[in-house]
Structure 1
Amino acid sequence: MPVQAGSPRSGLRGRLLAAGGALGAALVLGCALPAGAEEATAAPSTRCQVTDPALAELSGLVVMGEQMLALNDGGDQLAVHLLDGACQVVDVHTAAIDPYDPEDLAVGADGTVWVADTGDNNANRPTVALLALRPDGRNSVYRLTYPDGPHDAEALLLAPDGTPYIVTKEILGASSVYRPAAELVDGGTVALAQVAGVGITLTGTPGGPVGQAGQLLVTGGAVSADGRHVALRTYTDAYVWPLTGSDIPAALAGQAERIPLPASPQGEAISFSADNATLVVASEGLPSDVTVVPLTAVAIAAAPPAAEGPVPSFADLTSSGLSPISSALIAAAVATVVVWISGKLRRRP
């Protein structure tokens, strides 16, 4: 099946209105509630500003040393941008793949750039896709199907062992976590299996385009290069869990440390810094601040010992030819809140 063309740019309004009648338990069975925010070791700081029009809808980010890889949401061609330390685009890698709605980005230990083409605002895609861009120039399209019908998803977690996990974006805060149920098949379709759940509750942190609902919507994910932490973000907060080995479901079943993020128009991008000591976040809209957010002391202390072995650097990635140019429970009040939010939606939250 060819990759679907034309990204939908609307549809969440209808889903929010429909959710007004979906009252009751908003948590996935068995998942732990995020912990309250702890005071960070230092205040967030702005690293630089993205101003390039090609990244007006920045939704994926991976820090590679002093440089970063960035992904724009949507578009008719798959493109991964290389940014320098000043957030200037210095290179672009394109692939002859027409994506439907790419949302997140990760880099494997072998240098493969993974793109989660998993956006589905209208919840009507028969398949979603993982797109793999390899250092040797080979590109792969791996189609996936949910076992319980379509979901909108904007977060990709790539475990240290290379297993991809997709985390859905749910308007009541009960996100599901899926991974492939079998080996991926280039050009083929493989079923996904639900392996975990994450319950997000209202936090009171301001920010985002949809009012309080933004505190519940998972918009991005990342795994630290040293394999010691896994993070998810909403429009307003980040959640960090200690990770042991590659068992992401076990990690997400534990207690998370919540880190409020600075208010932004539409925050979707998150990465760990190259030294794994901070989070790096960014938002759609121009200019977009790329903001460094220190991990809390509690999150750092909870991490297991670092695994032995080299961590791939950006130099390793580029030298192999990445680019041809550079070589909670929700009560009846939810219905009122949701309807109010729906009237304030932007073109695409």
Structure 2
Amino acid sequence: MSLSTKRLIAFVPARIAFITFWLVGLVYAVSAQQAPVKIIPAELSETSGLFVAKDNLFYIHNDSGDTSRFFAIDAKGNLLSTLYFKGDPSKKHLGVTDCEDIAGGPGPVKNKSYIYLGDIGDNGGNRPYVTVYRFPEPNKFSGNMQIESEAVHLKYPNGPQDAETLMVDPILKELIIISKRQDTVGIYSAPLFFKKGDTIKMKKQGSLFLPGKGLVKYVVSGDISRDGQQILLKTYANVYYWLRNGKEPISQTLRRTPTKLPYILERQGEAVGFTPDGKAYYCISEGKNAVIYRYNVPQLPGQH
């Protein structure tokens, strides 16, 4: 999300370290790029989440400051549709507070694909609950369209948390939220098959420690592959990868040491998503004239 002036001042040492790391890392990362970069639409200047629905169809959204909407674009960055939904009327004219990640997966109707949008950002750590919206994946698009939504309100068991990572576990049928800022972040879950308007207390499944210090190690996005066997988590500096062992809980998978995947350091990269076949992943940064990066998932021990 965009950092306020106060936060920028507070994080000057961390940002200097990050910029230095970025410049050094870029030299070594250029060879990792797997496809030409593509300019994304100007409407998306605060990109925070990415769900790759099909090879040529991405769902993407802005974070705080935007209204209750998200976008469909193609792999070349062309805007296909702006999708509006009914948000929370208490959020004044915006309808949402701070949408930070988007995911896809199963839902209440068998064999139908759904989109999940997480209004889960909480810079001040004072929201009594966060909200996840569920939408049936559209079959066709128009330039501007209204889409039906179902909302579930989620409470943390240990008080408000700031989070930017929402994932859908298709195996255990859970929503997974990972907090952002702590040195050791929390892993939280809620049932995937909620009823519209439900308020649910999440379960804390465990914790996760990643290397690094300060802003560069914030967990800002994540994704689980369609088959549920691969997990990606993104910080500002790295993309981490885990291979799941059968039907174990995600928190158990994340206890193992991850593999660091190829990643070209971006200006403020906060979005990552698997391709439908799980053989590649995309990353997109915040900012005007951001670009789309595509990377292949390396073949690792244990993969078929």
TM exceeding 0.5: yes
Task: Give the equivalent residue in structure 2 for 1:331.
Answer: none
Residues 1:152 and 2:162 are matched in the alignment? yes
Task: Give the equivalent residue in structure 1 for 2:285.
Answer: 283
Per the normalisation by structure 2, the TM-score is 0.78
Classify 1:182/1:45 alpha carbon distance in 2 versus 1 (closer, same or farther; 3 Å): closer
Task: Give the equivalent residue in structure 2 for 1:69.
Answer: 59
- Please state how far the C-alpha of 1:224 moved relative to its aligned partner: 1.1
Structure 1: gaps spanning 5 or more residues = 1-6, 21-38, 203-211, 306-349
Structure 2: gaps spanning 5 or more residues = 15-27, 88-94, 107-111, 139-146
Taking the TM superposition and a 5 Å limit, the aligned residue runs for 1:43-122 are: 43-63=32-52, 64-97=54-87, 98-109=95-106, 110-122=112-124
Partner amino acid, structure 1, of 2:266: S
Partner amino acid, structure 1, of 2:60: A
SS at match of 1:249: helix
Question: Alpha-carbon deviations, 1:235-268, whole Å to 9, x = none?
Answer: 1101111123363122112221112521211000
Taking the TM superposition and a 5 Å limit, the aligned residue runs for 1:1-349 are: 10=4, 13=7, 43-63=32-52, 64-97=54-87, 98-109=95-106, 110-135=112-137, 138-161=148-171, 162-172=173-183, 174-180=184-190, 184-202=194-212, 213-243=214-244, 244-245=246-247, 247-298=249-300, 301-303=301-303
> Which structure: greater strand fraction?
2
Q: For the residues of structure 1 that align with 2:161 and 2:6, how far apart are their CA atoms?
A: 12
- Please state how far the C-alpha of 1:43 moved relative to its aligned partner: 2.2
Supply the RMSD in Å over aligned alpha carbons: 2.8
Question: Alpha-carbon deviations, 1:268-308, whole Å to 9, x = none?
Answer: 0000123311221110012112111222333xx334x6xxx
Alignment coverage as a number of residue pairs: 265
Q: For the residues of structure 2 that align with 1:69 and 1:296, how far apart are their CA atoms?
A: 24
Question: Alpha-carbon deviations, 1:154-213, whole Å to 9, x = none?
Answer: 0011001331000000242x11100127963422311111102110112xxxxxxxxx63
Task: Give the equivalent residue in structure 2 for 1:33.
Answer: none
Q: For the residues of structure 2 that align with 1:89 and 1:254, how far apart are their CA atoms?
A: 39
Per the normalisation by structure 1, the TM-score is 0.69
Q: For the residues of structure 2 that align with 1:246 and 1:96, how far apart are their CA atoms?
A: 36
Q: For the residues of structure 2 that align with 1:75 and 1:164, how far apart are their CA atoms?
A: 24
Identity across aligned pairs (percent)? Answer: 25
